[in-house]
Amino acid sequence: MPQVTVEVNGRAYRLSCGEGEQEHVMALSRKIDRHSNSIDLNKSPANEGRNMLLAALMVADELHENEQRVTALEQEVAALKASGAGGAPDERIAEMELAVAEMLDRAAAQIEVVTNEIEAVT
Protein backbone atom coordinates (compact mmCIF):
# COMPACT_ATOMS: atom_id res chain seq x y z
CA MET A 1 0.00 0.00 0.00
CA PRO A 2 1.49 3.36 -1.00
CA GLN A 3 2.48 5.88 1.64
CA VAL A 4 2.78 9.64 1.53
CA THR A 5 4.22 12.18 3.92
CA VAL A 6 1.98 15.15 4.55
CA GLU A 7 2.52 18.20 6.68
CA VAL A 8 -0.24 19.65 8.80
CA ASN A 9 0.22 22.39 11.36
CA GLY A 10 4.00 22.21 11.02
CA ARG A 11 4.19 18.48 11.68
CA ALA A 12 4.92 15.70 9.22
CA TYR A 13 2.73 12.60 9.13
CA ARG A 14 3.34 9.39 7.20
CA LEU A 15 0.03 8.02 5.89
CA SER A 16 -0.99 4.97 3.92
CA CYS A 17 -3.43 5.41 1.07
CA GLY A 18 -4.88 3.54 -1.86
CA GLU A 19 -2.94 3.03 -5.05
CA GLY A 20 -3.11 6.19 -7.16
CA GLU A 21 -4.55 8.30 -4.32
CA GLN A 22 -1.26 9.82 -3.19
CA GLU A 23 -1.77 13.26 -4.78
CA HIS A 24 -5.39 13.38 -3.62
CA VAL A 25 -4.39 12.67 0.00
CA MET A 26 -1.68 15.32 -0.21
CA ALA A 27 -4.15 17.87 -1.62
CA LEU A 28 -6.62 17.11 1.17
CA SER A 29 -3.90 17.48 3.79
CA ARG A 30 -2.99 20.88 2.34
CA LYS A 31 -6.62 21.90 2.74
CA ILE A 32 -6.61 20.79 6.38
CA ASP A 33 -3.29 22.59 6.89
CA ARG A 34 -4.78 25.84 5.49
CA HIS A 35 -7.69 25.54 7.91
CA SER A 36 -5.35 24.71 10.77
CA ASN A 37 -3.18 27.73 9.98
CA SER A 38 -6.23 29.99 9.84
CA ILE A 39 -7.14 29.18 13.44
CA ASP A 40 -5.92 32.13 15.48
CA LEU A 41 -5.31 30.24 18.70
CA ASN A 42 -2.33 29.29 20.79
CA LYS A 43 -0.23 26.95 18.64
CA SER A 44 1.33 25.17 21.62
CA PRO A 45 1.52 21.36 21.47
CA ALA A 46 -0.97 21.20 24.34
CA ASN A 47 -3.60 22.74 22.03
CA GLU A 48 -2.73 20.71 18.95
CA GLY A 49 -5.60 18.25 19.33
CA ARG A 50 -8.09 21.07 19.82
CA ASN A 51 -6.73 22.97 16.83
CA MET A 52 -6.91 19.86 14.64
CA LEU A 53 -10.49 19.31 15.80
CA LEU A 54 -11.37 22.89 14.84
CA ALA A 55 -9.73 22.43 11.42
CA ALA A 56 -11.64 19.18 10.95
CA LEU A 57 -14.88 20.96 11.89
CA MET A 58 -14.16 23.62 9.28
CA VAL A 59 -13.66 20.93 6.64
CA ALA A 60 -16.81 19.16 7.85
CA ASP A 61 -18.73 22.42 7.49
CA GLU A 62 -17.57 22.73 3.87
CA LEU A 63 -18.56 19.11 3.33
CA HIS A 64 -21.99 19.77 4.81
CA GLU A 65 -22.54 22.69 2.44
CA ASN A 66 -21.52 20.50 -0.51
CA GLU A 67 -23.86 17.74 0.64
CA GLN A 68 -26.71 20.26 0.71
CA ARG A 69 -25.86 21.26 -2.87
CA VAL A 70 -25.79 17.59 -3.87
CA THR A 71 -29.20 17.04 -2.27
CA ALA A 72 -30.60 20.02 -4.16
CA LEU A 73 -29.17 18.66 -7.43
CA GLU A 74 -30.59 15.21 -6.72
CA GLN A 75 -34.01 16.75 -6.10
CA GLU A 76 -33.72 18.71 -9.33
CA VAL A 77 -32.81 15.56 -11.24
CA ALA A 78 -35.74 13.69 -9.68
CA ALA A 79 -38.10 16.51 -10.59
CA LEU A 80 -36.83 16.57 -14.17
CA LYS A 81 -37.23 12.80 -14.46
CA ALA A 82 -40.72 12.93 -13.00
CA SER A 83 -41.90 15.74 -15.24
CA GLY A 84 -40.29 14.48 -18.41
CA ALA A 85 -40.50 18.10 -19.51
CA GLY A 86 -38.52 21.26 -19.11
CA GLY A 87 -36.45 20.70 -22.19
CA ALA A 88 -33.70 18.87 -20.27
CA PRO A 89 -32.47 15.98 -22.42
CA ASP A 90 -31.71 12.63 -20.83
CA GLU A 91 -28.03 13.26 -21.51
CA ARG A 92 -28.06 16.33 -19.22
CA ILE A 93 -29.72 14.34 -16.46
CA ALA A 94 -27.06 11.63 -16.79
CA GLU A 95 -24.34 14.31 -16.55
CA MET A 96 -25.93 15.71 -13.41
CA GLU A 97 -26.17 12.26 -11.85
CA LEU A 98 -22.51 11.63 -12.65
CA ALA A 99 -21.53 14.98 -11.12
CA VAL A 100 -23.49 14.16 -7.97
CA ALA A 101 -21.86 10.72 -7.73
CA GLU A 102 -18.38 12.25 -8.15
CA MET A 103 -19.09 14.84 -5.45
CA LEU A 104 -20.20 12.10 -3.08
CA ASP A 105 -17.06 10.08 -3.81
CA ARG A 106 -14.86 13.11 -3.11
CA ALA A 107 -16.80 13.85 0.08
CA ALA A 108 -16.37 10.27 1.29
CA ALA A 109 -12.62 10.39 0.61
CA GLN A 110 -12.34 13.70 2.42
CA ILE A 111 -14.21 12.34 5.45
CA GLU A 112 -11.90 9.34 5.54
CA VAL A 113 -8.75 11.50 5.46
CA VAL A 114 -10.05 13.82 8.17
CA THR A 115 -11.02 10.85 10.33
CA ASN A 116 -7.56 9.34 9.92
CA GLU A 117 -5.92 12.67 10.81
CA ILE A 118 -8.04 13.02 13.95
CA GLU A 119 -7.24 9.45 14.95
CA ALA A 120 -3.53 10.12 14.42
CA VAL A 121 -3.64 13.14 16.73
CA THR A 122 -5.59 11.45 19.50
In terms of C-beta density within 10 A (0-12 exposed, 13-18 middle, 19 or more buried), how is residue 96 classed? Answer: middle
Q: Is the pTM of this model over 0.75?
A: no
Secondary structure (3-state) at 40: coil
For the chain, how many structural domains are there in total?
1
Average pLDDT over residues 12-38: 89
Burial class (CB in 10 A: 0-12, 13-18, 19+), 8: buried
Domain extent at residue 79: 3-121
pLDDT per residue as tens digits for the range 91-116:
777 888 888 888 888 888 888 888 77
